[in-house]
A and B are shown apart, each in its own frame.
Chain A
Amino acid sequence: SQQGEEDPQALSIQEGENATMNCSYKTSINNLQWYRQNSGRGLVHLILIRSNEREKHSGRLRVTLDTSKKSSSLLITASRAADTASYFCATATLGGNTGKLIFGQGTTLQVKP
């Protein structure tokens, strides 16, 4: 079963603009991770945020986590054409098999040059 739901399903912006993607999940988590997938390739890890963290930065990426609302957002600033890809959130559930990552349906981002 899918844990996360992402919003929007698709996003199209101009180069230089910011892109924001949202992820909601259902159960308590240990951590939440964001991955990028270029067409025809595997997923690449972008950033991990633990359940006791509220915000994390990595280069042009900013991730927030609100455990009370069971939601996270990924912000890509000053987007580039090379950021065109699908983005997935994935959650590691608290307790039980914490090595299990459950992925959302993803957001497809198109950055126009």
Chain B
Amino acid sequence: EAGVAQSPRYKIIEKRQSVAFWCNPISGHATLYWYQQILGQGPKLLIQFQNNGVVDDSQLPKDRFSAERLKGVDSTLKIQPAKLEDSAVYLCASRPLDRTNSPLHFGNGTRLTVT
């Protein structure tokens, strides 16, 4: 099966600019996650979708970050305006339904550098 696809692979922007990331999960996976991974740290959950509904966005900085999952398949994560501290790798992951005892499948991430 094809894996989780993310684009772009890399993005460099100046602070106060906007940026968007795209994720296509594994076909049939109802649950989709966006994680932020700052260099040297573990991934931090930003938002979790089940189909096109939000399950958890408690750690999403909603004043600048937004995410959507139209039609319950692809998802986009947007940052507007970006800050220096947003420099990180943004990882998308998916899993079938919301099955507790199943692993997450990760994409290779988008590395964002804010200058």
Contact A99 B101 (CB under 8 A): no
Segment from A12-20, A41-49, A60-68, A76-84 that makes contact with B: A41-49
Q: How many residues of B contact A (CB 8 A)?
A: 30
Of the candidates B4, B44, B59, B108, which one forms a contact with A103 in the assembled complex, judged by CB atoms under 8 Å apart?
A: B44
**Is A72 located at the chain interface by the 8 A CB criterion?**
no
Q: Shortest CB–CB separation between residue A97 and chain B, in angstroms? A: 5
- A43-B43, A88-B43 known; A100 and B56 CB under 8 Å? yes
Q: Is B112 an interface residue (CB 8 A)?
A: no
Interface string of A73-113 (1 = CB under 8 A from B): 00000000000000010001000011111111110000000
Q: Is the CB of A97 within 8 A of B101?
A: no
Q: Could you say which residues of chain B place their CB within 8 Å of the CB of A103?
A: 35, 42-44
Spell out B's residues near A (CB within 8 Å): 4, 31, 33, 35, 41-45, 48, 50, 55-56, 59, 91, 93, 95, 98-109, 111
Q: A residues touching B (Cβ–Cβ < 8 Å)? A: 1-2, 4, 30-31, 33, 35, 40-45, 48, 50, 88, 92, 97-106
